[in-house]
Amino acid sequence: MDTVEAAPGGWRERLRLYGRLTRIDRPVGVLLLLWPTLTALWFAARGWPGARLLAIFVTGTWLMRSAGCAINDVADRHFDAHVKRTAQRVVTTGQVAAGEALAVAAVLAAAAACLLIWLNTAARLAALAAVLVAACYPYFKRFFALPQAVLGIAFSFGIPMAFCAVQGRLPAVALWMAAANFFWVIAYDTEYAMVDRDDDVRLGLRSSAILFGRADVAMVAVCYAVYLAEMALLAWGEGLGAGFAAGWTAAAACAAYHVALIRKRERQACFRAFLLNHWLGLAIFAGTVAGFA
């Protein structure tokens, strides 16, 4: 199965497997990265950032998220076989070899790197830091009690990149927005970790769901509250009005619904709460666009 010729259906089947490897059929991860990044672009430019920057960040987000999925599957391939949710991933089942998956990741990362040609030096440096953090993340669950914190940093790097790309510098508002986004990531990835908690305990892996224990639902609610409060303060500081308030209210309603979904800690309900988080991010982004408009 390591070559195109050996794969049933030839190159079409290989592309289908690569699609599963990079989660093309499951875009929620891309959206969770994209909405805060676009929100940061609008804040940095105080409105429309221009078609070129928009295209670069949308394309780059998709490419790097896809590369990250491939790297993550290689790093976790020996654990994924013992987890209900991940047992059928293509690297775990041997449909795509580990080396092949890394080659796919390298091609995607190289394509994303080409986009940096059109960005300034500050944005390129932020991108390099983001890649280093993202590459380390899959290994933290082996020894670090709160690996979601590392993911929170990795999934917030689009924010400083956006400000650097627009302004050529890293203002305080960018750091505050990244800090706010950090808490949102902790919230939704804890919901995600609640799905696999039993398997992770059995395998000796770490997660926020295990660390928080019976306080998991309360901690998710607190993280949502911190995120929403910080975003409201940032919007107030920028003078955004009713448009942002409408989006923020919709986001708060999403957060409340997610907390209600996970309160019984049922596997499918927790997974559904995680999947629905992209609507929360979209609401904040839509409110930001409306506010600056």
193 alpha-carbon distance from chain centroid: 14
Question: Which CATH number covers residue 142?
Answer: 1.10.357.140
* % of the chain surpassing 70 pLDDT: 97
Asked if 219 and 208 touch (Cβ cutoff 8 Å), the reply is: yes
Smallest CA-to-CA distance from 191 within 169, 172, 175, 212 is with 212
Whether 276 is covered by a domain: the verdict is yes
Confidence at residue 197, expressed as pLDDT on a 0 to 100 scale? 92
Number of domains, the chain: 1
Smallest CA-to-CA distance from 62 within 29, 40, 38, 90 is with 29
Whether 4 is covered by a domain: the verdict is no
pLDDT in tens, 92-146: 998 999 999 999 999 999 999 999 999 999 999 999 998 888 888 888 888 899 9
One-letter identity of residue 31? L
Whether 84 is covered by a domain: the verdict is yes
Q: Residue 186 above 80 pLDDT?
A: yes
| Cα–Cα distance measured from residue 5 to residue 14, given in angstroms and rounded to the nearest whole number | 10
Confidence at residue 181, expressed as pLDDT on a 0 to 100 scale? 98
Confidence at residue 7, expressed as pLDDT on a 0 to 100 scale? 44
Whether 62 is covered by a domain: the verdict is yes
Q: Percent helix, strand, coil in the chain (nearest 5)?
A: 75, 0, 25
- CA distances from residue 180 to 13, 82, 155, 176 in whole angstroms, order as listed: 41, 34, 12, 6
Quickly state the pLDDT bin for 4 (edges 50, 70, 90): very low
Whether 149 is covered by a domain: the verdict is yes
Helix axes 121-140, 158-167, angle to 10 degrees: 180
- CA distances from residue 118 to 57, 115, 164 in whole angstroms, order as listed: 11, 6, 12
Whether 42 is covered by a domain: the verdict is yes
Quickly state the pLDDT bin for 1 (edges 50, 70, 90): very low
* Domain coverage including residue 140: 10-292
Whether 3 is covered by a domain: the verdict is no
Q: Taking all residues of the chain, what is their mean pLDDT, rounded to a whole number?
A: 92
Whether 1 is covered by a domain: the verdict is no
pTM assigned to the model: 0.92
